[in-house]
Structure 1
Amino acid sequence: MVGLIKAAKMGSGSSPCASCKLLRRRCVMDCIFAPYFPPDDPQRFALVHKLFGASNVSKLLQELPVNKRGDAVSSLVFEANTRIRDPVYGCVGAISLLQNQVSRLQMQLEQAQAELMSIQMQQHLQNEISDDKSLVLAATINLHQYLNDFAASTANLIIQDPLKTESLWT
């Protein structure tokens, strides 16, 4: 609020606001444009005036509450700048371009998430296979141990009584 009062007082001082300067009129104390179009940025008002006209902007600002006027002027300036760059579509063209970029980025994000999920699944499967390999290795070691024990016990039987061995094989 203090900034608005300072800007309004600037309009009534030695330097008129940008709109009064462009329109070549005396800037009064309660100039509707002074708080939003300071004298050090005349191009800002010139763009808005060219597209909307000073009378229309004045009417629009007078109909709005004071706390909404700054946002309205920012929107008017943005629209005027985008109309200079794109006379046909203006803001709509800029918004459409941004929406397309958002859509492309969302697709890229979904692809990245799918790839991440695939990598996580591969890691999980590798961990399970690694665990299975460990189980197979342990079972193989146990089997070898069992066979070694069996071979050792069979060898002991053969050494102790070779005739009893025959009954083991039949």
Structure 2
Amino acid sequence: FFKITQSCGSATAHNILLRLEDLHNITMKENGRKQGMASPCAACKLLRRRCAQDCVFAPYFPADEPQKFASVHKVFGASNVNKMLQGKRKLEELPEHQRGDAVSSMVYEANARVRDPVYGCVGAISSLQQQIDVLQAQLAIAQAEVVHMRMRQLSSMSSPATNSPENASPSSRHTPSHATRSLFSMDMVVDQANMGESLWSC
């Protein structure tokens, strides 16, 4: 600081020293806050309580996801969530490796209940089941069309060999063979099944 005092006036050097002291104090305060207290989890922040080191909510409801706990608290309640995760007796305590899955399930059910207050997750399950039924019906129709096309292909491949003028007898040229008649009749059955309203329609 002697160089600063020599190059500048006494007033200017005094102002510089004050600014350096202020910056040093601000830095020390910020470091003390970071080391002394951690950011509370979303649950403790919403409940306006001190977040302890052994907080049961902290591992599953971080501070940067406040809506996650807000939905769960609105539907289930903080005390019920605490009981589900911890339990009062050791026999009812949920294993720690299963708590993450339990929280994910509660968050999903809570969000579904917020979106649909009447049916909740049951409404989502019912909608997905209806989509499965529609897709299964479409798959059955597609499989029936594949069988129909294969039968038509077999009929077209066997007809020239059976009805050719060189290999057929004079009587068989005017009368269809048994194989041709059977393929033709089965083809007609498939065509009749596809006529009108589909059997696979819901």
State the match for 2:174 in structure 1: none
Displaced runs of 4 or more, over 6 A: none
Q: State the alpha-carbon separation in 2 of the partners of residues 139 and 92 from structure 1.
A: 67
Greater helix share, 1 or 2?
A: 1
- Amino acid of the structure 1 residue aligned with 2:149: I
**Matching residue within 140, 144, 167 for 1:139:** 167
- Give the total of aligned pairs: 129
**Matching residue within 79, 94, 114 for 2:124:** 94
- Amino acid of the structure 1 residue aligned with 2:45: K
Q: State the alpha-carbon separation in 2 of the partners of residues 116 and 83 from structure 1.
A: 43
- Report the alpha carbon displacement of residue 137 of structure 1 after superposing the two structures with TM: 3.3
2:142 matches 1:117: no
State the match for 1:14 in structure 2: 38
- CA radius of gyration, larger in: 1
Identity %: 60
Q: Which runs of 5+ in 1 are unaligned?
A: 1-11, 144-170
- How well do the aligned residues superpose, as a CA RMSD in angstroms? 1.8
2:115 matches 1:82: no
Q: Which runs of 5+ in 2 are unaligned?
A: 1-35, 87-92, 171-202
Task: Indicate the SS of the match to 1:139.
Answer: coil
State the match for 1:44 in structure 2: 68
Q: State the alpha-carbon separation in 2 of the partners of residues 13 and 130 from structure 1.
A: 90
- Report the alpha carbon displacement of residue 131 of structure 1 after superposing the two structures with TM: 2.6
Q: Deviations over 1:28-58 (max 9, x none)?
A: 1111111110110000000000000000000
- Report the alpha carbon displacement of residue 132 of structure 1 after superposing the two structures with TM: 2.1
State the match for 1:61 in structure 2: 85
TM-score (norm 2): 0.60
2:58 matches 1:30: no
- Report the alpha carbon displacement of residue 13 of structure 1 after superposing the two structures with TM: 5.0
Q: Deviations over 1:120-162 (max 9, x none)?
A: 11111111113324xx23237x99xxxxxxxxxxxxxxxxxxx
